[in-house]
Amino acid sequence: MLLLRGDHVLMVRRSGTGYEDGKLSVVAGHVERGETVTRAAVRESREEVGLDLSPARLRVVGVMHRKSEDERIDFFLAYPLEHQEPENVEAEKCSELVWAKRSALPADTIPYVRAAIEGFGERRWFQEFGWE
């Protein structure tokens, strides 16, 4: 999820997950069996940062075919946050929330997340990442 406020994106600092702990990511998760990508985005946003998003305002802004320990297909959705204030609902998995300027992401942003955010800024809809 690219939760946006002006030229900033909401990032979460991973903690206690066993994957990229200490680094910045965006609100994210897995699609559950029988769940659409949009419903997963709404659910993950509620679970991680306490936001109730309107599915009608979500838009897919990127797809990434990513090679990691295995292959992944990531969908990136954007949502403009106006008056809603996120809160750290999953403190056991996230040590802090950070508003980062999209054009100057922190150095400790997870590389594929950085690529996705940069791709969004460049209006690149599809990316392949981590392939030799």
Q: What CATH number should be reported for the domain holding residue 108?
A: 3.90.79.10
- The predicted pLDDT at position 69 comes to 85
| Buried/exposed code over 58-82 (b: 16+ C-beta within 10 A; e: otherwise) | beebbbbebeeeeeeebbbbbbebe
The predicted model scores a pTM of: 0.94
The tally of domains found in the chain comes to: 1
- Determine the pLDDT at residue 51: 98
Task: Note the pLDDT of residue 129.
Answer: 97
List pLDDT tens digits, range 37-85.
Answer: 999 999 999 999 999 999 999 999 999 999 988 999 999 999 999 889 9
* 124/110 Cα distance (integer angstroms): 19
Pair of tokens at residue 107: 């150095």
Domain residues for the domain of 75 are 2-129
Query: 132 pLDDT exceeds 90?
Result: no
What is the model's pLDDT at position 87? 97
Q: Residue 26 above 90 pLDDT?
A: yes
Task: Give the model confidence (pLDDT) of 70-129 as tens digits.
Answer: 999 999 999 999 889 999 999 999 999 999 999 999 999 999 999 999 999 999 999 999
Looking at residue 68, its pLDDT comes to 86
